[in-house]
């Protein structure tokens, strides 16, 4: 397993009732919708315009992986075409006195003006250890008359951050799209030079040539807008209140206070007693940063945070239980149906040499006998399912290949002989996030 400084840490998210982002299989369909609301304009532009939404545009689906998760993640699909059409109709019908949707350039040629919207860039990620969803979008709108371009501008919506999971990602993407389209419509309606050109006789044949400086600034323009989200979760990002961490990394967002019975367990295995097992250099620093996040963003009481550095097998069994006695300490710390339980582990992972079963590597483990000296990840999940917490959040900064930057953890086996069997990790009340690669 390779552990990097926290700024380079990318975690997969999420197993939220229905699926696992880091397993193979079909793409994840992200729900997208759009609505721009009322646009404040002095008056509509005179004339009749065609909004060109080709079938290709209407059916457009963006497919890609979250940033930082090109390996191992399931592709996400965003059906942006219909959302772009809906947002454009709502927005540009408030700009022109008359707006019709057309599907072909031949139809558009019958109108004095044609508006063409286009998504030029979309990026998305699961930042803050996977506990948030983030979406960035750029959209361009072109107003043409005949073969001439009268007005063109590209807008980048500010990054939209929401809560955790696929639905929240859909909200972030939808709001980014809506904000960009609304801003484009507002600027088109308020452009005085465009108004004069549209109102002038013969305007359909005359292109509006913007000044060079304006043209350059338009390509770099960024919308500044106030975000209002009445349904932000406890870990939702708030731009207005940030505190940079001591190491100068990205500011840690402030969230709402958590519940008085919420419990966090943070485990960082950096140093191993067995000779030949490489140190996980940044483990303790990463745990410290996660602790700040859990306190500031998730609202956990510092007194309800349990920290374990270089945990042994006995420590893990005491915390999470065993096969024979699945009710460990955490089971007793949780208040049924009221507590949120957050678990973070950073350290080595490895597969059993015969079974391929995934194991956490305790600080006192012997990787060559991991089946007896490791802590089973499958048993870990099985025992967690018995804990009556209101919500479970598990973040694993590890992989289970047995590989490290300095070579294989095992000394008596060939890498070709190793296989990893991913344990069943879905939980009815839980979310699991795991590293994308070794």
From 342, 348, 260, 418, select the one nearest 3 (Cα to Cα). 348
**Which pLDDT score, from 0 to 100, does residue 350 have?**
85
**Which pLDDT score, from 0 to 100, does residue 280 have?**
86
Mean pLDDT, residues 37-65: 94
**Based on the domain organization, do 207 and 253 belong to the same domain?**
no
In a domain, 404, yes or no: yes
**Based on the domain organization, do 259 and 374 belong to the same domain?**
yes
State the Cα–Cα distance between residues 57 and 51, nearest whole angstrom: 12
Q: What percent of the chain has pLDDT over 90?
A: 50
Burial of 172 (0-12, 13-18, 19+ CB in 10 A): buried
In a domain, 182, yes or no: yes
Which segment of 16-25, 199-208, 380-389, 398-407 scores lowest on mean pLDDT?
A: 16-25
Q: Do the beta carbons of residue 238 and residue 232 sit within 8 Å?
A: yes
**Which pLDDT score, from 0 to 100, does residue 436 have?**
41
Mean pLDDT, residues 154-162: 95
Higher confidence at residue 126 or residue 387?
Answer: 387
pLDDT class for 411, splitting at 50, 70, 90?
low
Which segment of 30-34, 42-46, 252-256, 310-314 scores lowest on mean pLDDT?
A: 252-256
The side-by-side arrangement of strands in the sheet containing 358-360 is 349-351, 358-360, 375-376
In a domain, 316, yes or no: yes
Domain end marker among 160, 184, 219: 219
**Which pLDDT score, from 0 to 100, does residue 126 have?**
83
Q: What is the DSSP string of 13-65?
A: ----SS--TTSSSSPEEPP----------SSPEEEEEEEE--HHHHT--EEEP
Q: Where are the alpha helices (DSSP H) in 297-435?
A: 313-320, 329-333, 370-373, 377-384
**Based on the domain organization, do 74 and 110 belong to the same domain?**
yes
In a domain, 292, yes or no: yes
Higher confidence at residue 73 or residue 168?
Answer: 168
Indicate if the pLDDT at residue 23 is higher than 70.
no
Higher confidence at residue 259 or residue 426?
Answer: 259
Q: How far apart are the first and last CA of the chain?
A: 4
Higher confidence at residue 220 or residue 191?
Answer: 191
Please tell me the total number of residues recorded for the chain in this structure: 438
pLDDT class for 406, splitting at 50, 70, 90?
low
pLDDT class for 114, splitting at 50, 70, 90?
very high
Q: Which pairing describes strands 242-243 and 252-253: parallel, antiparallel, or unpaired? A: antiparallel
DSSP state of 357: B
In a domain, 310, yes or no: yes
**Based on the domain organization, do 179 and 260 belong to the same domain?**
no
The count of other CB atoms within 10 Å of the CB of residue 16 is 18
State the Cα–Cα distance between residues 316 and 295, nearest whole angstrom: 23
State the Cα–Cα distance between residues 338 and 224, nearest whole angstrom: 39
**Based on the domain organization, do 108 and 160 belong to the same domain?**
yes
CA 284 and chain centroid, separation: 25
CATH code, domain carrying 260: 3.40.50.1460
**Which pLDDT score, from 0 to 100, does residue 166 have?**
79
Which segment of 121-135, 143-157, 181-195, 335-349 scores lowest on mean pLDDT?
A: 121-135
The count of other CB atoms within 10 Å of the CB of residue 222 is 11
pLDDT class for 55, splitting at 50, 70, 90?
very high
Query: Cα torsion for 228, 233, 238, 242, to the nearest 10°?
Result: 160
Q: What percent of the chain has pLDDT over 70?
A: 69
Range of the domain at 307: 242-434
**Based on the domain organization, do 250 and 208 belong to the same domain?**
no
Long-range contacts of 275-281 (CB under 8 A, 24+ apart): 276/411, 277/348, 277/361, 277/365, 277/367, 277/409, 278/404, 278/405, 278/406, 280/1, 280/3, 280/346, 280/347, 280/348, 281/3
State the Cα–Cα distance between residues 135 and 138, nearest whole angstrom: 10
**Based on the domain organization, do 398 and 287 belong to the same domain?**
yes
**Based on the domain organization, do 260 and 372 belong to the same domain?**
yes
Domain count, the chain: 2
Q: Where are the alpha helices (DSSP H) in 281-328?
A: 283-296, 313-320
pLDDT class for 296, splitting at 50, 70, 90?
confident
**Based on the domain organization, do 158 and 258 belong to the same domain?**
no
**Based on the domain organization, do 149 and 260 belong to the same domain?**
no
The percent of the chain in helix, strand and coil, each rounded to the nearest 5, is 25, 25, 45
**Which pLDDT score, from 0 to 100, does residue 129 have?**
61
**Based on the domain organization, do 206 and 316 belong to the same domain?**
no
114 — phi, psi (to 5°)?
-135, 130
**Which pLDDT score, from 0 to 100, does residue 84 have?**
98
In a domain, 24, yes or no: no
**Which pLDDT score, from 0 to 100, does residue 368 have?**
85
Q: Show Cβ contacts of residue 9 under 8 Å, excluding neighbours closer than 6 positions.
A: 3, 129, 286, 397, 435
**Which pLDDT score, from 0 to 100, does residue 22 have?**
41
**Based on the domain organization, do 123 and 262 belong to the same domain?**
no
State the Cα–Cα distance between residues 203 and 197, nearest whole angstrom: 6
Indicate if the pLDDT at residue 74 is higher than 60.
yes
β-pair partners for 253: 242
In a domain, 189, yes or no: yes
C-alpha angle with apex 225: 167 to 237, nearest 5 degrees?
Answer: 45
Q: What is the pLDDT of residues 343-365, one digit of tens each?
A: 999 998 888 877 778 899 999 99
**Which pLDDT score, from 0 to 100, does residue 434 have?**
60
pTM over 0.85: no
In a domain, 211, yes or no: yes
**Which pLDDT score, from 0 to 100, does residue 144 have?**
94
Mean pLDDT of the chain: 78
């Amino acid at each position: 397993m390779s552990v990097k400084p926290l700024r380079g840490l990318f975690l997969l998210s999420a197993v939220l009732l229905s699926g696992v982002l880091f397993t193979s299989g079909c793409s994840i369909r992200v729900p997208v919708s759009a609505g721009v609301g009322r646009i404040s304009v002095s008056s509509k532009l005179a004339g009749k315009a065609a909004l060109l939404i080709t079938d290709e545009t209407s059916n457009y689906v963006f497919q890609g992986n979250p940033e930082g998760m090109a390996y191992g993640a399931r592709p996400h699909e965003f059906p942006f075409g219909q959302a772009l059409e809906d947002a454009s109709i709502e927005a540009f019908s408030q700009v022109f006195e008359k707006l019709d949707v057309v599907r072909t350039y031949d139809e558009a040629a019958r109108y004095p003006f044609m508006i063409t919207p286009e998504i030029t860039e979309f990026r998305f990620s699961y930042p803050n250890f996977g506990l948030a969803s983030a979406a960035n979008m750029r959209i361009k709108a072109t107003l043409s008359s005949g073969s001439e371009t009268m007005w063109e501008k590209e807008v980048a919506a500010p990054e939209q951050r929401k809560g955790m999971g696929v639905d929240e990602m859909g909200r972030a993407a939808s709001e980014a799209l809506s904000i960009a389209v609304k801003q484009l419509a507002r600027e088109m309606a308020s452009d005085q030079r465009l108004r004069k050109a549209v109102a002038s006789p013969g305007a359909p044949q005359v292109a509006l040539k913007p000044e060079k400086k304006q043209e350059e600034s338009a390509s770099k323009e960024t919308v500044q807008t106030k975000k209002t989200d009445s349904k932000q979760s406890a870990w939702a990002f708030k731009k207005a209140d940030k505190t940079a961490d001591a190491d100068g990394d990205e500011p840690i967002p402030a969230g709402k206070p958590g519940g008085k019975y919420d419990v966090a367990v943070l485990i960082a295995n950096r140093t191993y007693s067995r000779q030949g097992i490489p140190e996980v250099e940044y483990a303790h620093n990463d745990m410290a940063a996660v602790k700040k996040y859990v306190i500031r963003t998730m609202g956990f009481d510092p007194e309800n945070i349990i920290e374990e550095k270089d945990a042994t097998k006995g420590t893990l069994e005491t915390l999470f239980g065993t096969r024979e006695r699945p009710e460990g300490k955490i089971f007793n710390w949780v208040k049924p149906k009221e507590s949120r339980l957050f678990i973070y582990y950073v350290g080595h992972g490895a597969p059993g040499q015969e079974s391929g079963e995934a194991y956490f590597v305790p600080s006192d483990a012997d990787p060559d006998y991991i089946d007896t000296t490791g802590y089973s990840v499958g048993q870990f999940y099985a025992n967690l399912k018995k804990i009556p917490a209101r919500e479970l959040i598990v973040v694993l900064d590890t992989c289970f290949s047995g590989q490290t930057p300095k070579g294989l953890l095992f000394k008596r086996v060939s890498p070709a002989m190793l296989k990893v069997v991913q344990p069943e990790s879905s939980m009815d009340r839980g979310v699991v996030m795991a590293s994308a690669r070794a």
